[in-house]
Structure 1
Amino acid sequence: MSRAPSGVTAAQAAKPGPAPITPPAAIAAIDPLRLLRAYYPWFIGAAVFGLVLGVILFVLFSKFMPKYTATVTFQALGAGTAADTASGSTLGSGSVAELEKYMASQVFVMKSDIVLRQAAESAVIRNTSWAKKYTRNGVYDAAEALKGLRDAVSARALPDTNIMQMSMATSNPNDSANIINEVARAYEAHNKRSSVSPQTEYRDHLDRQVRQLRAEVSDLDRAAERLLGGGPDADRAAQLTSLNQQSTEYFVELQQLQPALTQLRQQLSSTNEQLQRYEALMKQASAPGEAGVVYPEEIRAGAEQGQIIQQMDGQIAVLKADLRAARVEFGDNHREVQRLERTLQSRIDERKAMLDQKTAELFAQTVQNLRNAVSNLTATGATLEDRLEQAKKGLNDVTLRIKQYEDIMEVRKQKLESIADFERQMAEMTLKIDQGERVEIITLAPVPDEKSFPKVLTVIAPTAVLCVGLVGGVILLKEVREQRIRSPQDIAMIPRTRVLGVVPELKMDPSQPERAETASRDKPQGAFAESMRQIRTAIVKEATESDAQTILFVGGMPGSGSSSIVTNLAFNLGAIDKNVLVIDANIRRPSLHRIFGVPQGPGLAEVLTGSVPLSSAVQATSTRNVSILAAGTATAGCSEKLTPQCMGRVLEEARGKFDMILLDAAPAVVAGDAFALASLCDAAVLVVKAYSEKRGLVVRLRNQLGDSRAKFLGVIVNAIRPSAGGYLKRNLQATMEYQQPQPAAGAKA
């Protein structure tokens, strides 16, 4: 199979153009269970701290800010009669909805300034210790005390009952009971004063409204009478029925007149057209110098059907028969035949003259008939139009009267409904006035014997929950703001980016290899080596599918570990009989020669400059099937040699000698060599170090590598650390134990 020229493989040539720019990675999904496992000591500490803080706050509140709540209980009675109250009924005959509205209004009255001002000015409240904070220079400020009562006094109606409660909390239990009881007495006194007078005024107001509405209803009735045309005692239903009948009759007449008028107009138009055509023929006949008139065929046909013409046609027919007989008997030249011919011609001429005369007479008669028909049709059309206009006017008039009547009846109905509603309210007001007070005190407030604040559950538990919530919020904010690559899940969040493999941090390997660069060779049964074997499998699969031989490994930041990934991958590829060439393309800080223990030169630099051939620069290593092309010593200006002409030639030559060529490039952040090499290689792999590179950097490098000719295989996450609550450490231990040989069957423990 022939290869693409200039160091470009068939896989590269078949690769599509630059990939579209990948959008920035979204915020990584947050696993609550992982956070709980990772930060459970934080949550436990926050809970303990919250409990301790809650106990401290409880003690402080109990000592310096205690609250004692005193409550007065009221009972609301239904809007029934006095007999209901006397019989022990609490709801009376009033509806539940009415009672709920009444209780809601009374709760508002209990906290109104009228009631609280009366209580604030009472001697009982003046003598409480609570009132001392509103006393300046021995003068009690009732206005300030009113403001204090507004904040301290509360009232509510208990749901689904006729019970209301008024409460107040102070730091002194005696003050709480005395103040709230005085407010309750002030409300009771206000309720007695206002239970009758406002209700009577409201009932009188409703009565005036009813009288005004009845007068308006009478005006509407008179207006309806004028519309219907009857007197006060007339049957309105019959009158309305009569109007509807008139409307129907007018409508039916319109339905009949409109098509009749249309038909008449069409007939008149047709007759006019015929009359105009015939009159034009008459003018043509009377014009001087004109030949005879060419009458219409229907006129000539009508003249031929006349009696005289028919008789003459009969005579001509007899003469023709006699002429034929004479010719047969005497021959064509006989005197009798000639006489008959002259007689026949004379009859024919007479017939023609008579036909012209009768045609002219019939034509004149027809024109006169058409004139008469036009005149009659015009008169009939005018009559129909007058009748149509009268029917329209009558229908509009009746329809308007019916609409006005219906509008009046609708307004009348609304006013009657308002009258009924006002009369119902008047009846309710009358019941309330007859009944009197509807609220009574069931129990006055006793002196409270225990604190209403603080409570253990309302202080300690919320404090602990708040502390745990604050810590959780801090942890969540920390997780959301974290942009570093910490796990493969962070890479998976980047669109179109595959995780090629993960490599644990060296110290997490239970086999304890000394160097990451040679861990696969030194400790082949370790977890580090197993991770590299998994990466090798993925790379071999991708390389086989895409016919890739040259694979570029690029680190994001310095220290990402791309060199250790390349060396360990070379060891694993050599172990499966792949002839591997490792090229140290990091000409700025070469390191692979030290890892493999070979001289630094001659190497890539000398091959690029042409001073040494590739075969002489490639060095064998102590590992089977693994060779190395070191960076070389003459590295000055070698970056400019990473071109298809120079570097492409080197790679093309290497492809013919090795199964796979692994290139280790300088970190992409500090040098652009990697992107130049990516345009020459078959595939590229990005190596990032956990807790070092950020997602934004990975996105940018992935896009840049994706725009090159090399196929982007994915990302290798290096130096993965175990997180609290994670499974990495346990998995690595299980991997190590599984690599150990099992004891023989039947062996003793």
Structure 2
Amino acid sequence: MARVYWPWLLASGFLGIAVGIGAFFILGRTSPQFTSTAFVEVLPVLGEGTAVTTATGIGGTQELGIAMETRARGAVSDPLLLRVSDQPEVRQTRWAQQFVVDGIYSPQAAMQDLRNRVRARTISDTSYIQFTARASTRDDAQVINKAFTDVFLLTQNTDSRAFVSNEIQRSERDLRRLRTDIDALNTRINNLIDQSQVTSANEQTSIFAKEIAVLQPLVAEARQQIAASEERLENFEQMMQAPGGVVYPEFVREEAERANIAQQLQLQIENSEAALRSYEAQYGPNHTELRRRRIMLQALRDQREQMIQKKMAESFSALVDSTRRNISTLRAAEAEHLGKIAIAERRLNELVRTLAERENLQLERARLLERMQMLETKLSSLTLERERGARVRIAQEATRPDMRSFPRLIPTVAVSVFLIGGAVSGLIFLREVTEQRIRTPLDVSLGARARVLGFIPDISMDPSAPKRIELACEEAPRGATAEAIRQIRSTLLKSARDNGQKAILFVSGLPGSGTTSIVSNLGINIANIDLKVLLIDANLRRPSLHKVFGTGDKPGLAEILRETATLDESIIQTRIPNLSVLPAGSDGEGTYERFNTPAMSELISQAREKYDFIFIDVAPSVVAGDALALSHRVDAVALVVRAYSEKRGLLNRMKSQMEDARASVLGVIVNAIRPNAGGYFKKNFQATIAYQNGSASPATKDAKPVKAKSADTDDNNTNA
């Protein structure tokens, strides 16, 4: 885009410079402005970043910046500006005369204008404020700025003295209150020490902690013994409740058997058993005495077992009671230990709270002491400040300007160039947005949503400079135009072969689109790859194919349609092998209407049998309806548009008409592409020529293109 509109942008730049210079001189005579500058220093004070306040933690750089900014804003407040506008020296300026009405000066009106003429701004990281005043004369600017700074100094110093006095009174009041609070804290700390004997707190804490440490293992041991005893008692109760009777532990039976009476009975049983064996050996097993002695032995055994059962019941009952008493004793011991632990913990917590309270009181006292020290330091600083006097002074008096502050040459010219350049850029953008003509293949893809079969460069972009654009493939086979035709041929042949299409109609929208040159060059190119091609000139209004190839113009298509000649009689073989031409013939009455007759369909059918491809050149669709009449009799249609000629709407209408006629639209060929967008197409075509010639020679780059000479004046052949 810059390549296309650079003259516009360059002209806008020169115009902007000229207008800017003119505006500079005009404004310098009609509306000059002079600016006076003065500097005021604000001496630091407590709370505004002095060394004293920074050390005490009250002031700092941030506080200084905030205070300075506050003063700068106050300098341009309405009350202060009203006082400035009412100063006697300001009343005498030329600027003030515009506010005199009927001999009466209006300070209020002057104050409104001063808002836009005076400025006060802080100098970063310093204690200086810059004051500026703007007026139409040098003297007025100086007088106004001097009055501005004088009123500011008077106001600030008056306010500062009142501020320091108030701060001293407030600091003394705060200091008295702090001393009272510190005395109260000392009393509380002393009372706490006396009441709680906090001085021996560390020793008492250790005693309580040790007591808790001793009691906790005892509680754990008691709980373990209680658990073991409860488990033993539960086992005993299960033995007592056994379905077959009480089941005593083995150690209970052993203890019962060791009793004296059990031992005596056992001895008697053993003696009886010995006597029984002796009698049995002496008298035999069936003696009456033996039976008696056996009865006596069994009686002894039963007696012993009864005695053991009784002894076991007594022992087991005593064991259960003992276990229950032991559990009760252990629980009492556990409760006692827990009570002692609770008492020790409560006393320990009370002691810890007392210690924490003492520590908090001591911290509060330290904080108050620190604050008291800060207030004492602040009070000393304020006293010194009161003795020192004024805190705001003039660092630089209001200057008398040496040169104008407005207008300035460079800014005025820059603004003028920017505005005019912006306006021209806006016009360029608007022109690009509203442009409806087809300029690049992208316009076809996006605007018409059609397939692009290829594009052909404008003849001025072809460094090979063919003499006749219609015969570019013959005269300059290595040129950019011929190469573009080859690319279109490849796309066209692939699509046609995939769909079995031979007869293709080439249709343009407007005269001069270059349909004839595209048809003739495609015919030459395809004939060179040993395919038989027939070119039919169906543009009966302005026939030109016979002129391109230097053949006769009749008999031709018109005679065939009127049935006064045959196809074989009318076809002419050109000088190029495999390429034949069917000229338009002589126009006669009713010839155009015969495109809709069976004779036209028969002609195309006969041509299909003899040729590999039939290309038909027809009149533009805008000037005639021949293309629409032929569209449904051919196999496919290729649309041709010329860059910067046809509009997108025309292409859309052509495409819609062909589709409505049930024609197969192969795509669009864009003719006469011109260099734009940085010369992308031009550089590519030049590179193509250089590559085919063996080197990118400067001669190729510097070659001056020659405009092609068309074979006739037919607009349909134009590509320049």
TM-score with structure 1 setting the length: 0.64
Residue 168 (structure 2) aligns with: 203
The one of 139, 144, 151 aligned to 1:179: 144
Shift, 1:201, TM fit:
1.0
Gaps of 5+ in 2: 51-58, 562-566, 585-591, 696-720
Higher relative contact order (CA 8 A, sep 6+): 1
Tell me, in whole angstroms, the C-alpha distance in 2 between the residues paired with 1:600 and 1:223.
129
Number of the residue aligned with 2:112: 147
1:60 is aligned to 26
Question: What is the CA distance between 1:204 and its match in structure 2?
Answer: 1.2
Q: Any unmatched runs of 5+ in structure 1?
A: 1-34, 85-93, 285-292, 604-614, 642-649, 743-749
Please give the per-residue CA displacement for 1:689-731, whole angstroms capped at 9, x wherever unaligned. 6555769x99xx9xxx9xxxx9x99986544222274153465
Q: Match of 2:4?
A: 38
Q: Distance in 2 between matches of 1:553 and 1:329?
A: 147
Map Cα deviations across residues 39-75 of structure 1 (whole Å, 9 max, x no partner). 2212211111111111121112111111122233444
Task: Please tell me the residue identity of whatever aligns with 2:245.
Answer: V
- Counterpart of 2:86 in structure 1 is 121
Q: Is the 8 A contact 2:19 2:416 kept in 1?
A: yes
Please report how far the alpha carbon of residue 439 of structure 1 lies from its aligned counterpart in structure 2 after TM superposition: 3.0
Please state how far the C-alpha of 1:270 moved relative to its aligned partner: 3.7
**Partner SS state of residue 98, structure 2:** helix
Q: Which residue of 1 aligns with 2:246?
A: 295
2:408 maps to amino acid: K
Q: Which residue of 2 aligns with 1:531?
A: 484
Is the alpha carbon distance of 1:665 and 1:365 closer, same or farther for their aligned partners in structure 2, counting shifts above 3 Å?
A: farther
* Superimposed CA distance per residue, residues 169-217 of structure 1 (whole angstroms, 9 cap, x where no aligned partner): 1112222222222233333333443342321111211222233344344
Aligned to 2:707: none
275 and 391 in structure 1: CA distance in 2 versus 1, 3 angstrom threshold: farther
Task: Indicate whether 1:70 and 2:32 are aligned.
Answer: no
- Look up the SS of the partner of 1:230 in the other structure: helix
1:577 aligns with 2:561: no
Structure 1 194/346 Cα, relative in aligned 2: closer, same or farther at 3 Å?
same
1:244-263 map, 5 Å: 263=224
C-alpha offsets along residues 542-590 of structure 1, whole Å, 9 cap, x if unaligned?
779x977659999999569899767755643442235679999x9xx9x
Distance 1:663 1:250 in 2: 120
Give the aligned residue type for 1:53. Answer: V
Please identify, of 169-178 and 117-126, the stretch whose mean Cα deviation from structure 2 is larger: 117-126
Match of 1:17 in 2: none
User: Are positions 1:365 and 2:365 aligned together?
Assistant: no
Distance 1:339 1:276, change over 3 A: closer
Q: In structure 2, what is the Cα distance between the partners aligned to 1:551 and 1:327? A: 146
Question: Does the CA-based 8 Å contact 2:523-2:579 persist in structure 1?
Answer: yes
Matching residue of 1:47: 13
> What is the distance in 2 between the residues matched to 1:250 and 1:676?
116
CA 1:360–1:258: 2 relative to 1, 3 Å: closer
Q: 1:333 aligns with which of 277, 285, 288?
A: 285
Distance apart, 1:504 and its partner CA? 2.0
- Give the residue type in structure 2 aligned to 1:302: V
**Farther-moved stretch of structure 1 (456-465 vs 57-66):** 456-465
Q: Paired residue for 2:193, among 230, 238, 261?
A: 230
CA deviations over 1:482-526 (Å, ceiling 9, x no partner)? 6876445678999x999764322467556457676x764676454
* Aligned-residue offset at 1:339: 7.9
Percent identical pairs in the alignment equals: 28
* Counterpart in the other structure of 1:451: 404
Aligned partners of 1:382 and 1:152: how far apart in 2? 92
**Greater alpha carbon shift after TM alignment, 374-383 vs 332-341:** 332-341
How far apart are residue 462 of structure 1 and its match? Answer: 2.9
Matched letter for residue 138 of structure 2: P
* Offset at residue 124 of structure 1 (A): 1.6
Q: SS of the residue aligned with 1:167?
A: strand
Q: Distance in 2 between matches of 1:163 and 1:454?
A: 28
- The answer (yes or no) to whether the contact 1:261–1:384 under 8 Å persists in 2 is no
Distance 1:261 1:139 in 2: 109
Question: Are positions 1:437 and 2:403 aligned together?
Answer: no
Per the alignment, residue 167 of structure 1 pairs with 132
1:723 alignment partner, one of 668, 672, 676: 676
Q: Which position in structure 2 is the counterpart of 1:134?
A: 99
Determine if contact 1:501/1:534 at 8 Å carries over to the other structure.
yes
Contact 1:554 1:666 in 2 (8 A): no
- Looking at structure 2, the residues matched to 116 and 243 of structure 1 have their Cα atoms a distance apart, in angstroms, of 75
The answer to whether the Cα contact below 8 Å between 1:243 and 1:402 also exists between their aligned partners in 2 is no
User: Does the alignment pair 1:193 with 2:145?
Assistant: no
Correspondence list, 1:467-482, <5 A: 467-476=420-429
Q: Does the CA-based 8 Å contact 1:272-1:374 persist in structure 2?
A: no
d(CA) in 1 for partners of 2:560 and 2:353? 114
Q: TM-score, normalised by structure 2?
A: 0.66
Q: Is the Cα–Cα contact under 8 Å of residues 495 and 666 in structure 2 kept in the other structure? A: no
Shift in Å, 1:446:
4.6
Write the mapping of 1:359-398 to structure 2, written as runs, cut at 5 A. 359-383=312-336, 386-387=339-340, 390=343
Count of matched residue pairs: 636
Task: Encode CA deviations 1:223-260: one digit per residue, 9 max, x unaligned.
Answer: 5666xx32499877x65x57875896698689768866
1:438 is displaced (CA, Å) by 3.0
Q: Bigger CA drift: 130-139 or 385-394?
A: 385-394
Question: 2:588 is matched with which residue?
Answer: none
The answer (yes or no) to whether the contact 1:79–1:431 under 8 Å persists in 2 is no
Please tell me the root mean square deviation across aligned C-alpha atoms, in Å. 6.2
Q: How far did 1:451 drift?
A: 1.9
TM-fit CA distance, 1:95: 8.3
Q: Give 2:165's aligned amino acid.
A: T
Moved more, 628-637 or 374-383: 628-637
Partner amino acid, structure 1, of 2:164: Q
